């Protein structure tokens, strides 16, 4: 897929119905040869729309004016490209905990959570948030933030939050929400119209600032066993990830599946179904919408989920 085709697909599939600003912006970039030529000087993994647009927001670029944005990005290319090369699309969406919670709460505890591709680690605190499943509340009344999730069929909701006694994250470039620069980058990655996600990010960041997680810089294959070995022996290890394997090549995904399957405990995957092909079973029902993620426990499909934790469709 060419860079132009990638931006057009982003407009037609990923941003469609979710961010009119990014739909128009991606379409305009797809038809801007000068900017496409500049993007093609970057490594393939650094050309994606979310990274360019996040850097644009970070640098106060005119993302709401497509023509002005492409001219701005080309004129300031040395600064824009430097930021794109030094950063990654590490969107950290705490609301994904709402789709992970029913499975996590069903695993005998206490739990030792290890998130692969943790970014800043906002999803390592499922026991510290409050959940609203179409009016059914799970979690304490004082917990913040409240994560809303729409149920699309009969979902086995937990009666209580899991007990988490250890939590750690593994990432190639861990982010620290106690620093203004990393928090600003996470905010820049939130799409323009998603103000509720921005508020949720800030509220979740306050939870982490009170008790920062253990975040380790490392590779999802080579460094996972050593970090998993640091989990308490009397806790159930749960290795999980969301929207991470798309950034690994097929060979890395297979190696990761082999490594995580050999660890004690459980493996919880929440990814676009295409990147889980060959790694988990075939789901029993078709995805309710094109952007649905597949949630699987130990290789067995369990649910379709909204990519930002906004919905849950349980599989029989």
Would you list the DSSP string of 85-107? HH-------GGGHHHHHHHHHHS
The reported pLDDT for the residue numbered 9 is 94
Q: State the chain's mean pLDDT as an integer.
A: 94
Q: What is the pLDDT of residues 1-36, one digit of tens each?
A: 899 999 999 999 889 888 999 999 999 999 999 999
Q: Check residues 46 and 14 and name the one with the higher pLDDT.
A: 46
Is residue 296 over pLDDT 80?
A: yes
State the angle between helix axes of 77-86 and 49-58 in degrees (0 to 180), rounded to the nearest 10.
120
Q: Check residues 41 and 196 and name the one with the higher pLDDT.
A: 41
The reported pLDDT for the residue numbered 143 is 64
Q: What is the pLDDT of residues 236-277, one digit of tens each?
A: 999 999 999 998 999 999 999 999 999 999 999 999 999 999
Q: How many residues does the chain have?
A: 316
Longest dimension (CA), the chain: 58
Confidence of residue 148 (pLDDT cuts 50, 70, 90): very high
State the average pLDDT over residues 298-304.
97
Q: Check residues 187 and 291 and name the one with the higher pLDDT.
A: 187
Alpha helices (H) along 122-278:
180-189, 195-210, 224-228, 250-261
Is residue 92 over pLDDT 70?
A: yes
The reported pLDDT for the residue numbered 316 is 79
How many percent of the chain have pLDDT more than 70? 99
DSSP state of 51: H
- Count the Cβ atoms, other than its own, within 10 Å of residue 86: 10
Confidence of residue 75 (pLDDT cuts 50, 70, 90): very high
User: What is the SS3 assignment for 12?
Assistant: helix
pTM of the entire predicted model: 0.88
The reported pLDDT for the residue numbered 119 is 93
């Amino acid at each position: 897929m060419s860079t132009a085709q990638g931006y057009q697909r982003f407009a037609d599939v990923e941003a469609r119905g979710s961010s009119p600003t990014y739909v128009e912006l991606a379409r305009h970039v797809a038809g801007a040869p000068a900017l496409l030529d500049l993007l093609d000087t970057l490594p393939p993994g650094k050309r994606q729309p979310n990274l360019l647009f996040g850097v644009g927001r970070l640098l106060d670029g005119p993302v709401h004016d497509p023509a002005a944005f492409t001219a701005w990005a080309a004129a300031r290319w040395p600064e824009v490209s430097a930021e794109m090369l030094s950063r990654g699309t590490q969107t950290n969406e705490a609301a994904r905990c709402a789709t992970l919670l029913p499975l996590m709460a069903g695993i005998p505890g206490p739990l030792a959570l290890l998130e692969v591709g943790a970014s800043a680690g906002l999803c390592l605190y499922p026991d510290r948030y409050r959940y609203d499943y179409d009016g059914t509340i799970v979690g304490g009344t004082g917990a913040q933030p409240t994560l809303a999730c729409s149920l699309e069929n009969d979902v086995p909701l937990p009666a209580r939050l899991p007990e988490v006694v250890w939590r750690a994250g593994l990432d190639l470039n861990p982010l620290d929400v106690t620093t203004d620069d990393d928090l600003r980058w996470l905010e820049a990655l939130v799409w323009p119209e998603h103000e509720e996600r921005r508020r949720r990010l800030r509220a979740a960041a306050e939870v982490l600032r009170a008790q920062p997680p253990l975040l380790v810089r490392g590779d999802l294959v080579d460094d996972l066993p050593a970090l998993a070995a640091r989990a308490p022996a009397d806790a159930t290890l749960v290795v999980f990830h969301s929207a991470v394997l798309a950034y690994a090549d097929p060979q890395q995904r297979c190696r990761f599946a082999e490594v995580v399957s050999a660890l004690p405990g459980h493996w919880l995957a929440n990814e676009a179904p295409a990147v889980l092909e060959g790694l988990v079973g075939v789901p029993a029902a078709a995805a309710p919408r094109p952007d649905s993620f597949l949630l699987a426990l130990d290789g067995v499909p369990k649910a379709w989920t909204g990519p930002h934790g906004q919905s849950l469709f349980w599989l029989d």
